[in-house]
Structure 1
Amino acid sequence: MKSKLKSFFLLTFSTIIMAVGIYFFKFANNFTFGGITGLAVLVAKTGRISASDFTFIANMVLLAVGFVILGKKFAEKTAYCSILLSVTLSVLERLYPLNQPLTDQPVMELAFAIALPSLGSAVLFNIGASSGGTDIIAMIMKKYTSTDIGKALLITDFIITIAGCFVFDIETGLYSFLGLAVRSFMIDGFIESLNLSKYFNVVCTSPKAICDFIKDDLHRSATIVLAQGAFSGEDKYIIFTALNRIEAVKLRNFIKENAPDAFLLISNTSEIIGKGFHSI
């Protein structure tokens, strides 16, 4: 139950963060980068439908198509996030209608238009979910073709962004190109930051106290290897363990106080697969 509540909170929080960034900063400034919401900005220019309503309709259509083609399993997390994103955008449009950007600082607004949806997307990707939209198209393409999906989606985003240069002014188009370029790097950066852990190599003469602390206080495990010092020729032990950032600080402080002669190698890693971290 605790795990399900945590997953539900992350899905909800990240999707709402995305919606805030898209509505208040992306739609308001006519930035056209980024899949369905980018296309929605172009369609809204016709005056026949708002960007929020177009996003809602497009996501529901894609969701229905995905449900038919990809089956029920696909729809669990993606359906919830896609519906929540669409509904939130429509609600925001009716509660806080915007006829112009919040500020007269387009660079600052572009930063928020990139950062907030990127953070939300990173959290969703990190827990195996997505907000729907063009991600559903990508899933369908992956099932039936050998197309490089990443390149296909990038080309689609590029075409939509180019169209923005003609529909709006060149300045808005250039901002959109900048957003398109930065967005993918920022998502990758957020994912790495979310997954960042510490990998320890501890060389010592007596591993018991350190291992007991790792097991009893940090509730982690470790691997011990018997080694030999190249300079002294004495027997040594190497303790291998992986910890999150908070646990890493605790272990480092414990070793500093209780085994000051130990030699530590601490590395950053964002790819740890196994029990207690990420499953394969």
Structure 2
Amino acid sequence: MSNKVKEYIYINIGVVMVALGMYVFLMPSNLATGGANGLAIVLNYFIPILPVGVIMVFINIILFVIAFIVIGKGFGFKTIYASLAVSLLVYVFEKVFPMETSLTGDILLELIFGIVITGVGMGIVFNQNASTGGTDISAKILHKFFHINLGKAVFLSDIVITVFSAFAFGINIAMYAMLGVLLNSFVIDYIIDGLNLRKEVTIVSDHFDEIKTYIIETLDRSFTIYYGKGGYSNLDKKLITTVISKREFIRLRTFINELDSNAFVTVKNTHEVYGDGFSEL
């Protein structure tokens, strides 16, 4: 499967999660937690004849131009796809499954579930160098030029919309929305870090050749060899250092345990890896 196909599979998963979280949990409770969707919820209050999904399309069209000019064509095309897909799904949900009232009647519960679901979806989309549109685009610009974490950039972009929601729905709803924006920023950063998590593994073992062969032939990964001397044994040692995924680490750990239970292994979490076999720098 090509990388481009994988990108759009992940984007589609994220899009569905964002649309469901918005429509099922946030919109019925008027929780305008930023983004084109939050602004659309506020505008829908003043112009109820226009569905939220339609308003989102108009907002995103304006911001698409900015995405093409400032961020680049690659981000722009994927963002157009993702944001139009979210808007279309929300519009379809409005027509096919109309929700006049909130699902549970508990606004805090709606906020938590809505933010977690949409935040995970946005994190997945962001991780594919795309966005669900709206103020996500301005967040991406802040990230590109000022190197602000995407979650925090989303927070800065969305906080203005929650202020406007106070005029439409009252200060209580606006404060809940502001809490949602803050929670959303943490969820996005957590998801992006989790998706990019890799394990940096250093191994010292008398079964150097077998471990080396396993990493190359079974895991299809490379490694770096260091030469050292044991402080206690005073013997020359070969150290293997490799960077692998969480799943690959589980396989490697099982193999080493079966091969040499006395091996010395250290493991570090790393969230950014660039180069052959990983992300482009």
Q: Could you state the TM-score of these two structures normalised by the residue count of structure 1?
A: 0.89
Counterparts of 1:214 and 1:70, CA distance in 2: 38
Count of residue pairs the alignment pairs up: 279
The aligned residue for residue 33 of structure 2 is: 33
Query: Is the CA contact (8 Å cut-off) linking 2:230 and 2:237 kept in structure 1?
Result: yes
The aligned residue for residue 234 of structure 1 is: 235
The aligned residue for residue 179 of structure 1 is: 180
**Cα–Cα, structure 1 residues 140 and 186, in superposed 2: closer, same or farther, change >3 Å?**
closer
Query: Is the CA contact (8 Å cut-off) linking 1:56 and 1:90 kept in structure 2?
Result: no
By how many angstroms is 1:212 displaced? 0.7
By how many angstroms is 1:74 displaced? 4.3
The aligned residue for residue 134 of structure 2 is: 133
Counterparts of 1:21 and 1:278, CA distance in 2: 29
Query: Is the CA contact (8 Å cut-off) linking 1:201 and 1:265 kept in structure 2?
Result: yes
Deviates more, 1:28-37 or 1:180-189: 28-37
**Cα–Cα, structure 1 residues 279 and 232, in superposed 2: closer, same or farther, change >3 Å?**
same
By how many angstroms is 1:66 displaced? 4.5
**Cα–Cα, structure 1 residues 11 and 152, in superposed 2: closer, same or farther, change >3 Å?**
closer
Q: Name the amino acid aligned to 2:124.
A: V
Unaligned runs of 5+ in 1: none
Deviates more, 1:42-51 or 1:119-128: 42-51
Q: 3-state DSSP class of the match of 2:203?
A: strand
Counterparts of 1:179 and 1:149, CA distance in 2: 17
Counterparts of 1:248 and 1:97, CA distance in 2: 46
Q: Name the amino acid aligned to 2:241.
A: F
Counterparts of 1:58 and 1:108, CA distance in 2: 28
Q: Name the amino acid aligned to 2:39.
A: L
Counterparts of 1:197 and 1:66, CA distance in 2: 30
Q: Map residues 77-116 of structure 1 onto 2, 5 A cutoff.
A: 77-116=78-117
Q: Name the amino acid aligned to 1:268.
A: N
Counterparts of 1:147 and 1:228, CA distance in 2: 41
Say yes or no: does 1:12 pair with 2:42: no
Q: Name the amino acid aligned to 2:133.
A: G
**Cα–Cα, structure 1 residues 106 and 240, in superposed 2: closer, same or farther, change >3 Å?**
same
Counterparts of 2:146 and 2:209, CA distance in 1: 53
Cα deviations by residue, 1:14-34 (Å, 9 ceiling, x for unpaired): 112111111111111111122
**Cα–Cα, structure 1 residues 261 and 155, in superposed 2: closer, same or farther, change >3 Å?**
closer
Q: Name the amino acid aligned to 2:50.
A: I
Query: Is the CA contact (8 Å cut-off) linking 1:205 and 1:235 kept in structure 2?
Result: no
Counterparts of 1:57 and 1:124, CA distance in 2: 21
Unaligned runs of 5+ in 2: none
The aligned residue for residue 51 of structure 2 is: 50
The aligned residue for residue 222 of structure 1 is: 223
By how many angstroms is 1:147 displaced? 12
**Cα–Cα, structure 1 residues 228 and 67, in superposed 2: closer, same or farther, change >3 Å?**
closer
By how many angstroms is 1:63 displaced? 2.4
Cα deviations by residue, 1:183-213 (Å, 9 ceiling, x for unpaired): 1111000111111121111112341111011
Counterparts of 1:155 and 1:15, CA distance in 2: 22
Q: 3-state DSSP class of the match of 2:123?
A: helix
**Cα–Cα, structure 1 residues 137 and 29, in superposed 2: closer, same or farther, change >3 Å?**
same
Q: Name the amino acid aligned to 2:19.
A: A
Q: Name the amino acid aligned to 2:198.
A: S
Counterparts of 1:194 and 1:79, CA distance in 2: 23
Q: Map residues 150-189 of structure 1 onto 2, 5 A cutoff.
A: 154-189=155-190
Q: Name the amino acid aligned to 1:84.
A: A
Query: Is the CA contact (8 Å cut-off) linking 1:36 and 1:58 kept in structure 2?
Result: yes
Counterparts of 1:99 and 1:5, CA distance in 2: 37
| Percent pairwise identity | 34
Runs of 4+ more than 6 Å apart = 68-71, 139-143, 145-153
- CA RMSD in angstroms, aligned pairs only: 2.6
Counterparts of 1:3 and 1:149, CA distance in 2: 25
